[in-house]
Every structure is written in structure tokens, then in C-alpha cells.
């Protein structure tokens, strides 16, 4: 209650300051505003000022939490300009600039009373969004310097680095602040800013730099700049060191990497041969001034062994290796184009023979034969199992070979996965064995590239705006697509492990939805067809009509099309 009274008193004082300015007539000739101070309630809201200009004008330097409308215009007389913000836990402030005819008017925007909470990185990670934190840590990586100033930092309290999205310079954003402050990886910085969560990434947005403590150690160069070859090799890191000595820290999980030599400020590493997928290790270099420890870090990468489970061969790579005489047992991934003659899986022999390509193209020059392949886990295919179909993405393990100069994988190769799944329990994504909802979720998370079928029951409609700004549930005639959730039992669980989103899908027959079509409804049974993806942990179809409803309550829409 006291805080509310204080805030009211504060607004009154701001209003008094504004009215005093008006009486003194402190206006620019080119730009006149009814108030150069804007106060917004801490619970959220909107405030309006009047703007008069002699020519074209625009507003710049608005922070992401502040909505301004309009932000530009022609010569104006008493133009209404609104400043809006959502609620915030702590107060926040900003300076925005109105420019016209080469002159600039500063507008001071204040929402609530600014309260900054000192915290560790771990406390920021666990704290609420919109709260303003003051945190000190070491810069672990820089992702952008030219405009925004984005970087990661940590103080050793969190397993995950804190992301800083935007760094202010003299109160302004997009000023290449990291370059102007001279901030580099390894520097200790103290920053202040509001917390936000984007997807699964925790970040502080548009931070103010309070202090920079330059590190005594940094990375000068890395040779070579490319990853170490999978067969093994060396990499040298040259350091800039003004401290006393060098200490190198290699993670215990990187047993494949060792220190070969340290000569002055040059540390040389040696990597063993890699028989699996690509790997990397974060190496930390430390020094001291006798009182305090300083650190910097770099990432050493090594290529993966092509043909491993983590880095399977493409069809083009498998063909090249087989034609070169390789008979190695490798993992291969491709898309089924067609079956060989009488090659469908059958119970008599328990195997199948089919052609693969990288794109699913059936042209003969792209053909690569999987000869007499066994089913999952090397088991024989049995009656009642789903049949493999053209268009399915298959991961195989078998020996390379040639037959009459034609490359193939033979020796009873076994199927590891079909469309990203390793069993038939929740379908395999084909027309005759579509994914159940859980199978679709698994396939999306596996990152498959093929188009698949996913079936489920509509559990919830997604609301979206039409071109008039109205919210519409389900399908929208302005865009011809719709979004909704499906699950195995028609219940919306609000659980990303059980709910699958049909995102911006087209209607039956891969056509755009119109107002003449029935609206999708909770309880409808659908089969979707198209490519899958994930977004912020949600498994879904790719948007903008990349996927469509193949069937709705058992109907594919063909009977309607034929009658027309």
C-alpha cells in the first residue's frame, strides 16, 4: 500500500516538473511536445503526449518493453503519440528520441520506481521475468558486436550461461556498445537489466554496463582455425597474458584431448582419432596477479567420423565410398525412392530390398540399393508389421559393396530408424502406418527431413488474428490456414511431451481454407501430412501451408472434389 502512495506522489512530482517546463516554454522551434516526461503505471498502461513538428519526424531508441504509436509522420500539429507498457515487477526507465529537421527532443519514460536486485547468475536464472537484476560475471562468448552487443556471461554459479541481449551505451541501444567499451571474452563485467525468457533462453535485455574489469589473459589466435581432422591432430592456442603463469583446464569428459606442449604463451593440444560424431571441448585458461584469478576460454572442435551413428553417410558419400572399393560397415541415411523388383518386405525371408537417394528422387543416377535389409534391431520382418513406403527417411547399418559396378549396402543391413523412430509402437509416419501423436513428437525432435503422416484427435484450437485484427479460433479465411492442437485421446494436456501442434496447416486436398468450408472442431479426428519441426520445445508441423490435413474424420475430400 505504501508503495502505491509513493508512486502516486512520484507521478505528481513528475507532472509538476512537466507543467513547470510548459510554463517556461522550453521548446525547440522544430519540435514541440506537451511533456518531455512520460510516466506509466507499474501495473501497465498507456500515456499520451501531444507533438507538433515543422516537418517529417520519427521516434528512435525505444526499448523492447515500450510500445510507441505512431513512431513517425509528416509535419504535425498536436499529433497524439501514445506510450504503452505491460506490467513490470520493478521500475524501469528509458530515453527515446524524437528527431525532426536535424534536431532531437529527448523524452524521458519512467515506469514505476526503479529497483535493482543484486544477484548471481543462478539467482537470475531462477528469478521472475521483468525483474531488474544487477549481476557480475565473466564474459564467456560474444555473439554480436557491430550493433546490439550480445554476449554470454557466467559467475560459476550456474551450469548454463546467462545471455545478454542488447547492451546500452550512454543510455542508447544499437550503438556497438561492446566495441566502445572494449569488452572481450574473459573480461569481468557488471551489468544491470530486466530479465526475459525467449523460448528456453534466459536473458537480460538492453543492459547498462556498470563496470568492466579487463582480464589479464585472452585469446590471441588459434591455429588452425578449422576443426581438427577426425583422424586426430594438433591445435595451438596463442594467448595474450599479462598475469603470472598459465593454468589450463580441460573437462574430464574430453579425455580425447591432451596438452602436448606449453611454450611461453603458446599451448599446443593433441586430439586422438575420433570414431564417432563431431565433438568439442571448452578449454579454460587462467592466470593471476597474485591476488585475483582471471580467465578466458575457447572451444576446440574435432570433425566426426563419417559413417558413424552420430554422423551417418549421405547416399552420395556411400556411393562414392563403395565405388572406391570400401567394404566398411557404416551407418547410412537416405530417403526411400522405390522397392527393387519383388523387394517389398515379406514374411517368407523377413527382409526387403529398396533404393535410396538423398532427396527421394527416383532417377537411376541417384539410385543406391539397400539389399535384403532386415527390420528394426536386425530382426526379421513378420506379418502384421507395417510395410515400408517411398518417401520414408531410413537410417541403415550395413557393409558397403558393389554388384555389377552398382553401389549398394549388403550383408543383411539392418534398419536403425524409419522417419526418426526406432520401433513401430507409435507408427512410422507412412500413409498405412501414420504416426500417433507421440510418434509425431518423437520424429519432430529427431529432426527428420522427410514428409510424414501424423494422426490424432483435435484437443484445442489456436486463436490468431485475421487481417482486421480480430481473433479467430482454428482456420482463418484471410490466410487460408489454421492452427490447432492434437493428442492421442483428444485431451489437451498443456504438456509438450503429449501435445502436438498442427501449425498453419492447409485444408483437405492441400487447398486453402475458405469460409465455405466447415471449421475444425475439438474432437475431430485428423491425419496431417507434411514436414515436421520443433519450436521452443513444441513439436509441430512446419508453418505457412507446408503441411495440410490429409483426412478429416475419415474423409480426404476426394469425394467432394469428384462431385464438383
The predicted-structure confidence for 284-310, as pLDDT tens digits, reads as follows 999 999 999 999 999 999 999 999 999
Check residue 463 and give its pLDDT.
94
Domain that holds residue 381: 315-418
In angstroms, the CA 9 to CA 522 distance is 51
Check residue 8 and give its pLDDT.
37
Compute the mean pLDDT over every residue in the chain, rounded to the nearest whole number.
92
Whether residue 309 is contained in a domain is answered as no
Which of 247, 307, 236, 228 minimizes the C-alpha distance to 275? 307
Does residue 19 carry a pLDDT above 60?
A: no
Does residue 9 carry a pLDDT above 80?
A: no
Helix (H) / strand (E) containing 6: helix 2-24
Check residue 393 and give its pLDDT.
98
If asked whether residues 263 and 296 sit together in one domain, one would say yes
User: 395 and 385 in contact (C-beta within 8 Å)?
Assistant: no
Q: Apex CA 115: angle with CA 109 and CA 120, to 5°? A: 125
Check residue 562 and give its pLDDT.
52
Whether residue 297 is contained in a domain is answered as yes
If asked whether residues 477 and 498 sit together in one domain, one would say yes
Provide the grid cell at 12.
505528481
Check residue 560 and give its pLDDT.
54
Of 281, 302, 323, the residue that ends a domain is: 302
Does residue 6 carry a pLDDT above 90?
A: no
Does residue 228 carry a pLDDT above 70?
A: yes
Number of H helices, E strands in the chain: 6, 37
Which of 336, 333, 335 minimizes the C-alpha distance to 313? 333
Check residue 40 and give its pLDDT.
95
CB-hemisphere CA count at 13 Å for 3? 10
Does 397 or 28 have the greater pLDDT score? 397
Q: Apex CA 130: angle with CA 4 and CA 206, to 5°? A: 120
In angstroms, the CA 53 to CA 310 distance is 62
User: 422 and 414 in contact (C-beta within 8 Å)?
Assistant: no
Which of 104, 101, 69, 94 minimizes the C-alpha distance to 83? 69
Whether residue 432 is contained in a domain is answered as no
Helix (H) / strand (E) containing 511: none
State the pLDDT confidence band at 89, using cuts at 50, 70 and 90: confident
User: 448 and 532 in contact (C-beta within 8 Å)?
Assistant: yes
In angstroms, the CA 306 to CA 113 distance is 58
Which of 173, 60, 70 minimizes the C-alpha distance to 106? 60
What pTM was computed for the model?
A: 0.70
Beta bridge partners of residue 280, listed in sequence order: 301
Does residue 392 carry a pLDDT above 50?
A: yes
Does residue 254 carry a pLDDT above 80?
A: yes
Averaged pLDDT for residues 1-25? 38
Residue 405: DSSP 8-state: T
Does residue 227 carry a pLDDT above 60?
A: yes
253: domain CATH number is 2.60.40.10
Name, of 8-22, 225-239, 348-362, the range with top average pLDDT: 225-239
User: 313 and 368 in contact (C-beta within 8 Å)?
Assistant: no
Does residue 7 carry a pLDDT above 80?
A: no
If asked whether residues 200 and 226 sit together in one domain, one would say no
Check residue 516 and give its pLDDT.
96
Of 242, 267, 302, the residue that ends a domain is: 302
In angstroms, the CA 93 to CA 128 distance is 19
% of the chain with per-residue pLDDT over 70? 93
- With a CB cutoff of 8 Å and minimum separation 6, the contacts of 341 are none
Does residue 362 carry a pLDDT above 90?
A: no
State the pLDDT confidence band at 311, using cuts at 50, 70 and 90: very high
Check residue 85 and give its pLDDT.
94
If asked whether residues 557 and 447 sit together in one domain, one would say yes
Could you please report the per-residue DSSP string of 192-261?
EEEEEEETTEEEEEEEEEEEEE--SEEEEEEESSSPBPTT-EEEEEEEEE-SS--EEE--TT-TTEEEEE
Whether residue 424 is contained in a domain is answered as no
State the pLDDT confidence band at 179, using cuts at 50, 70 and 90: very high
Does residue 1 carry a pLDDT above 60?
A: no
State the pLDDT confidence band at 112, using cuts at 50, 70 and 90: confident
If asked whether residues 208 and 222 sit together in one domain, one would say no
Check residue 559 and give its pLDDT.
63
Torsion of CA 39, 193, 145, 242, to 10 degrees: 140
pLDDT single digits (tens) 477-495: 999 999 999 999 999 999 9
Averaged pLDDT for residues 129-157? 95
Check residue 2 and give its pLDDT.
36
If asked whether residues 6 and 97 sit together in one domain, one would say yes
User: 444 and 419 in contact (C-beta within 8 Å)?
Assistant: no
Whether residue 530 is contained in a domain is answered as yes
If asked whether residues 152 and 60 sit together in one domain, one would say no
Phi, psi of 381 (to 5 degrees): -70, 135
pLDDT single digits (tens) 510-548: 999 999 999 999 999 999 999 999 998 999 999 999 999
Check residue 199 and give its pLDDT.
83
If asked whether residues 497 and 445 sit together in one domain, one would say yes
State the pLDDT confidence band at 130, using cuts at 50, 70 and 90: confident
Does residue 226 carry a pLDDT above 60?
A: yes
Check residue 197 and give its pLDDT.
92
If asked whether residues 288 and 324 sit together in one domain, one would say no
Check residue 312 and give its pLDDT.
97
If asked whether residues 28 and 66 sit together in one domain, one would say yes
Residues in the chain: 564
User: 84 and 119 in contact (C-beta within 8 Å)?
Assistant: no
Check residue 106 and give its pLDDT.
93
Helix (H) / strand (E) containing 49: strand 45-53
Averaged pLDDT for residues 150-156? 96
pLDDT single digits (tens) 426-475: 999 999 999 999 999 999 999 999 999 999 999 999 999 899 889 999 99
CB-hemisphere CA count at 13 Å for 33? 22
If asked whether residues 353 and 335 sit together in one domain, one would say yes
Check residue 41 and give its pLDDT.
93
Averaged pLDDT for residues 318-332? 96
356: domain CATH number is 2.40.50
Of 278, 302, 326, the residue that ends a domain is: 302
The domain tally of the chain equals 5
If asked whether residues 92 and 122 sit together in one domain, one would say no
- With a CB cutoff of 8 Å and minimum separation 6, the contacts of 538 are 496, 499, 501
In angstroms, the CA 123 to CA 99 distance is 40
User: 563 and 522 in contact (C-beta within 8 Å)?
Assistant: no
Whether residue 425 is contained in a domain is answered as no
Whether residue 551 is contained in a domain is answered as yes
Whether residue 184 is contained in a domain is answered as yes
Q: Classify burial at 306, counting beta carbons within 10 Å of its beta carbon; exposed 0-12, middle 13-18, buried 19 or more.
A: middle
Check residue 27 and give its pLDDT.
65
- With a CB cutoff of 8 Å and minimum separation 6, the contacts of 448 are 393, 419, 420, 429, 532
Amino acid at each position: 500500500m505504501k508503495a502505491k502512495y509513493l508512486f502516486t506522489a512520484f507521478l505528481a512530482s513528475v507532472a509538476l516538473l512537466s507543467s513547470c517546463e510548459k510554463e517556461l516554454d522550453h521548446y525547440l522551434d522544430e519540435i514541440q511536445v506537451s511533456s518531455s516526461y512520460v510516466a506509466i503505471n507499474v501495473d501497465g498502461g498507456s500515456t499520451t503526449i501531444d507533438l507538433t513538428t515543422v516537418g517529417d519526424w520519427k521516434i528512435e531508441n525505444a526499448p523492447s518493453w515500450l510500445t510507441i504509436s505512431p513512431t513517425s509522420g509528416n509535419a504535425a500539429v498536436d499529433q497524439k503519440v501514445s506510450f504503452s507498457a505491460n506490467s513490470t515487477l520493478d521500475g524501469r526507465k528509458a530515453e527515446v528520441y524524437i528527431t525532426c529537421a536535424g534536431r532531437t527532443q529527448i523524452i524521458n519514460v519512467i515506469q514505476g520506481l526503479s529497483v535493482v536486485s543484486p544477484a548471481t547468475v543462478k539467482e537470475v536464472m531462477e528469478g521472475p521475468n521483468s525483474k531488474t537484476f544487477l549481476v557480475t560475471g565473466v564474459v564467456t562468448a560474444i555473439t554480436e558486436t557491430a550493433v546490439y552487443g550480445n554476449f554470454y556471461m557466467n559467475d560459476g554459479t550456474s551450469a548454463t550461461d546467462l545471455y545478454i541481449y542488447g547492451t546500452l551505451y550512454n543510455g542508447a541501444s544499437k550503438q556497438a556498445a561492446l566495441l566502445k567499451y572494449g569488452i572481450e571474452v574473459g573480461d569481468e563485467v557488471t551489468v544491470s537489466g530486466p530479465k526475459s525468457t525467449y523460448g528456453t533462453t534466459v536473458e537480460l535485455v538492453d543492459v547498462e554496463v556498470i563496470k568492466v574489469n579487463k582480464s589479464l589473459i585472452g585469446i590471441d589466435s588459434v591455429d588452425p582455425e578449422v576443426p581438427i581432422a577426425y583422424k586426430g591432430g594438433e591445435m595451438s592456442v596463442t594467448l595474450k597474458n599479462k598475469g603470472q603463469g598459465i593454468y589450463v583446464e580441460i573437462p574430464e569428459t574430453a579425455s580425447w584431448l591432451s596438452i602436448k606442449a606449453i611454450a611461453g604463451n603458446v599451448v599446443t593440444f593433441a586430439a586422438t582419432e575420433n570414431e564417432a560424431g563431431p565433438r568439442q571441448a571448452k578449454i579454460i585458461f587462467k592466470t593471476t596477479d597474485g591476488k585475483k584469478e582471471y580467465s578466458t576460454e575457447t572451444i576446440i572442435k574435432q570433425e566426426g567420423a563419417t559413417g558413424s551413428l552420430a554422423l551417418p553417410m549421405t547416399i552420395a558419400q556411400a556411393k562414392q565410398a563403395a565405388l572406391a572399393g570400401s567394404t566398411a560397415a557404416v551407418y547410412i541415411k537416405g530417403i526411400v525412392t522405390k522397392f527393387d523388383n519383388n523387394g517389398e518386405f515379406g514374411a517368407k525371408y523377413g527382409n526387403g530390398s529398396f533404393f535410396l537417394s538423398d532427396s527421394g528422387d527416383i532417377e537411376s543416377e541417384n539410385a543406391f540399393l539397400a539389399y535384403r535389409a532386415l527390420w528394426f534391431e536386425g530382426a526379421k520382418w513378420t506379418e502384421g508389421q507395417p510395410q515400408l513406403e517411398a518417401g520414408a527417411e531410413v537410417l541403415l547399418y550395413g557393409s558397403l559393396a558393389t554388384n555389377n559396378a552398382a553401389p549398394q549396402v549388403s550383408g543383411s543391413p539392418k534398419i536403425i530408424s524409419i522417419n526418426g523412430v526406432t520401433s513401430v509402437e507409435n507408427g512410422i509416419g507412412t500413409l498405412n502406418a501414420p504416426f500417433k501423436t507421440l510418434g509425431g513428437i518423437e520424429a519432430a525432435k529427431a529432426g527428420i527431413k522427410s514428409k510424414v503422416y501424423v494422426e490424432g484427435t483435435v484437443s484445442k484450437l489456436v486463436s490468431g488474428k485475421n487481417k482486421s485484427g480480430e481473433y479467430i479460433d482454428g482456420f482463418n479465411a484471410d490466410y487460408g490456414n489454421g492452427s490447432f492442437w492434437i493428442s492421442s485421446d483428444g485431451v489437451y494436456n498443456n504438456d509438450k511431451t503429449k501435445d502436438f501442434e498442427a501449425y498453419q496447416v492447409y485444408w483437405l486436398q492441400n487447398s486453402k481454407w475458405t469460409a465455405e468450408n466447415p471449421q475444425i472442431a475439438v474432437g475431430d479426428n485428423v491425419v496431417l501430412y507434411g514436414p515436421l519441426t520443433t519450436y521452443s520445445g513444441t513439436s509441430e508441423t512446419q508453418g505457412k501451408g507446408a503441411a495440410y490435413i490429409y483426412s478429416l474424420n475419415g474423409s480426404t475430400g476426394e469425394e467432394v472434389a469428384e462431385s464438383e
